[in-house]
Structures are given as structure tokens and as C-alpha cells.
Amino acid sequence: MGARVRRALAGVRWYVRELTGEAAYDRYVAAHAGADHTPLTRAQWWRARDDAREHTAHESCC
């Protein structure tokens, strides 16, 4: 029973991280791990992501 509960909780954790976007930042950092520059901080990344979404939202209107 304990293993089933742990798997269920791991699934819930995965789902929440995907839903909130936390996993996307982790994928961004992993993709830039071998780069010769430092990746954006979490706050910078969220700001850039929100700015990009806001910018593309205006372009696709009407």
C-alpha cells in the first residue's frame, strides 16, 4: 500500500509542477546546462515568459 501511495503522490506532484509551469523552468535550466552563459534566474525566466506571452497575445488578435 505504501508504494501505491508514493506513486500516486509522485503523479500528483508531477501534474501540479506541469500545471504551474515549474517543470518548464527546470527544462530550461537543463537545456542550458552545457552553454557558455549562465541561464536566467527563476524570476527573470518567469518575467521573460510572461512578456513573450503578452507580446504574442496582441499579435494574434483579430
- For residue 34, the model assigns a pLDDT of 83
- CA 13, 19, 24, 27 dihedral sign is positive
Domain boundaries, the chain: 2-59
pTM of structure: 0.67
- For residue 57, the model assigns a pLDDT of 65
Distance CA 17, CA 23 (A): 5
* pLDDT tens, position by position, 1-56: 799 999 999 999 999 999 988 899 999 999 998 888 889 999 999 999 988 888 87
- For residue 42, the model assigns a pLDDT of 92
